Amino acid sequence: MGGDYAPHNVIAGAIDALRETNNRFEVLFVGPQSIVNAELSPVQYNGFTYQVIDASQVVDMHDSAIAALKQKRNSSITVGLALHKEGRADAFVSAGHSGAVMSTSTLILGRIEGIGRPTIGAFFPSERGVCLLLDAGANVDCKPQHLYEFAVMGSIYTSEMFHVKNPTVGLLNIGEEESKGNEVVKEAHKLLQQSNLNFIGNVEGRDILQGKAHVVVCDGFVGNVMLKFGESIPGFFKSRMKQVMKKSLLMKLVGALTRSTLRAALKSMDYEEYGGVPILGVNGVSIIGHGKSTPKAIKNMVLKAEEMVQKKINHHIQEALAGAAHA
Amino acid sequence: MGGDYAPHNVIAGAIDALRETNNRFEVLFVGPQSIVNAELSPVQYNGFTYQVIDASQVVDMHDSAIAALKQKRNSSITVGLALHKEGRADAFVSAGHSGAVMSTSTLILGRIEGIGRPTIGAFFPSERGVCLLLDAGANVDCKPQHLYEFAVMGSIYTSEMFHVKNPTVGLLNIGEEESKGNEVVKEAHKLLQQSNLNFIGNVEGRDILQGKAHVVVCDGFVGNVMLKFGESIPGFFKSRMKQVMKKSLLMKLVGALTRSTLRAALKSMDYEEYGGVPILGVNGVSIIGHGKSTPKAIKNMVLKAEEMVQKKINHHIQEALAGAAHA
């Protein structure tokens, strides 16, 4: 188990998931056995359906994804994903090293047939709900076909997990006209137009928060820059508010009210609610959580993993790609 | 003259610039003569140093930049830039069709020696002041050399116009490590490292609002998506606040306070203050304003144009490039 607050938050969150579901499933805690057991000893964790699986090594944030794969074969990431591959687990979730989870998932689980590039997305709040942007950093350079695959996977995920019928798909570009953008997006535009997806054409940077499309596809360079920019907005506002609040006692009061109102207004921006982001396109269910995951985020990540398994997301992806190939 | 509120805002703003500077310079109003004269007739515009130059055609937002160039040779953009080229004007500003101003400026004024690609930037607010991001959409595909040129031009502009000594330059990327990103940014990293610029290495999406660098360079695809995303943030908050305010009368009051506090907190985000964005790299001074420019924005755009001329920004750019070539 990984993340900045492991093992405490991870165990607390997973146990909460078991509590809420009356032990509907079993949790395998993967990590250094003695540390995990020490955290589990308190009496309140009795009666829950879990097991502890030893994995002695820890991938830390300074390891490169490749080094983690090669040198730490006994990390919780590798051991946990191997359990999933062998069928002893139906899904894998981690708040650990994102890059290592991404590459180890692809290596161990393999790709869904027809998928060239597995992807991770990012959830953006929007005026109409949530916008799933993908790729958010796994694939720096993309071919048009990859953008098309992201659209298929994002569309199925959104439809199944967010109960959106026939989700709209937009292609991130610098203008609405077909002729805009670089060669890759121009070609991707054609592929998306010929597809069975609910493709609404190019969307621009402003259309994400405005909620013009449920799913927005782009290469991982643009997506990653956008994701990190988006994550920095609340902190920027906080810092600006502080400066305003310094000016007088009245501004201090107004500022405090503002902050709580802003917090309410931004609730759906809250990563805790989504729990984490799925790696789409691998032969299995693997979810990456935020390094700073709270117990609530971990709980939701576990529940989302169960939901993805129940809803057979990968089966739907495979069907959609096979359908497209026959079309 | 162009923009959504031309000729009124354009004339009012330019006259304000003359008023504030006691007619320190002369303004040439370029546009359909009868319309411009009708707007200028009020008695309050007497005593100001301006002339009206006729340009009968108008480039509208539905024209492509290329079509505007070829088919509307008597537009205010083409006529105004020709006046600048001939030396009858020292600078050109417009709130009209951005694409047409960009391409016509490059065509008529030509490029500064040593510059492969003129660029337009975008000003982002940051926790430490302002961040100039370039390119913001003029150059979709860039070579490493172009990113280097943007860095040189952005650095000189920031140093001269914002009085920042030795501005820091960051390369927008998806991680801090040199090995991150696509081939173009990896090569650009090397060029920037070898330069005389105050290059601080890669910066990520979150570093823009945090103010990690004064100047951030990226290709125009990423920059344009970022610019438009950034512009949509205030509207998104407004829409969210409205939903919160609906809940009760108390929330309505709190919401109203919040909005005014937010407005104060975001003041430096205000495009009116910058007036517009300069096209850097052309042989002249050409500034593009927002289509919805207020008189205040126009006034500031005119004053910035004068300042760019006075400070010989282009001369400094040429010197920097010549110095680099001899280094």
What's the average model confidence in pLDDT over A193-210? Answer: 97
Token pair listed for A314? 């990968």
B244 touches chain A (CB under 8 A): yes
* Whole-angstrom distance, CA of residue A233 vs CA of residue A220: 20
- Beta strand A277-280 with A286-288 is antiparallel
pLDDT tens, position by position, A138-148 = 999 999 999 99
Contacts of A216 in chain B (CB under 8 A): none
**pLDDT of res. A142:** 96
- Asked whether the beta carbons of residue B140 and residue A181 sit closer than 8 angstroms, the reply is yes
Q: Are A144 and A166 in contact (CB under 8 A)?
A: no
- From the candidates B221, B222, B254, which should be mutated to test the interface with A, based on the most A CB atoms within 10 A? B221
CA A150 distance to own-chain centroid = 13
Indicate whether this complex's ipTM tops 0.95.
Answer: no
Instruction: Give the 3-state secondary structure of chain A.
Output: CCCCCCCHHHHHHHHHHHHHCCCCCCEEEEECHHHHHHHHCCHHHCCCCEEEEECCECCCCCCCHHHHHHHCCCEHHHHHHHHHHCCCCCCEEECCCHHHHHHHHHHHHCECCCCCCCEEEEEEEECCEEEEEECCCCCCCCCHHHHHHHHHHHHHHHHHHCCCCCCEEEEECCCCCCCCCCHHHHHHHHHHHHCCCEEEEEECHHHHHHCCCCEEECCHHHHHHHHHHHHHHHHHHHHHHHHHHCCCHHHHHHHHHHHHHHHHHCHHHCHHHHCCEEEECECCCEEECCCCCCHHHHHHHHHHHHHHHHCCHHHHHHHHHHHHHHC
Q: Which amino acid is at A249?
A: L
Mean pLDDT of chain B, nearest integer: 91
- Residue in chain B nearest A232 by alpha carbon: B206
CA A94 distance to own-chain centroid = 11
What's the average model confidence in pLDDT over B123-132? Answer: 90
Touching A: B residues 250-309, CB under 8 Å = 251, 254-255, 257-258, 261-262, 264-266
What are residue A119's DSSP bridge partners?
A280
**pLDDT of res. B191:** 97
* Whole-angstrom distance, CA of residue B80 vs CA of residue B27: 11
Q: Does position A327 have pLDDT exceeding 60, yes or no?
A: no
Angle between helices A249-265 and B220-245 (to 10 degrees): 100
Q: CA neighbours within 13 Å on the CB side: how many for A278?
A: 26
**pLDDT of res. A235:** 84
A96-105, A136-145, A241-250, range with the lowest pLDDT? A241-250
Q: Does position B256 have pLDDT exceeding 90, yes or no?
A: no
The pLDDT-based confidence of B170 (bands split at 50, 70, 90) is: very high
Residue in A210, A229, A265 nearest the CB of B237: A265
Question: Which domains are delineated in chain A?
Answer: 1-115+281-321 (3.40.718.10), 120-271 (3.40.718.10)
The pLDDT-based confidence of B267 (bands split at 50, 70, 90) is: low
- Asked whether the beta carbons of residue A205 and residue B222 sit closer than 8 angstroms, the reply is no
What's the average model confidence in pLDDT over A269-293? Answer: 87
Cβ neighbors of A26 (< 8 A, separation 6 or more) are: A49, A50, A51
What's the average model confidence in pLDDT over A292-314? Answer: 96
- Residue in chain A nearest B183 by alpha carbon: A141
How many other C-beta atoms are found inside a 10 Å radius of the C-beta of residue A227?
A: 25
CA A84 distance to own-chain centroid = 18
**pLDDT of res. A271:** 64
pTM equals: 0.92
pLDDT tens, position by position, B44-89 = 788 999 999 999 988 887 888 777 778 888 999 999 999 999 999 9
Cβ neighbors of B318 (< 8 A, separation 6 or more) are: B112, B113, B114
The pLDDT-based confidence of A224 (bands split at 50, 70, 90) is: very high
What's the average model confidence in pLDDT over B120-134? Answer: 92
- Residue in chain A nearest B171 by alpha carbon: A225
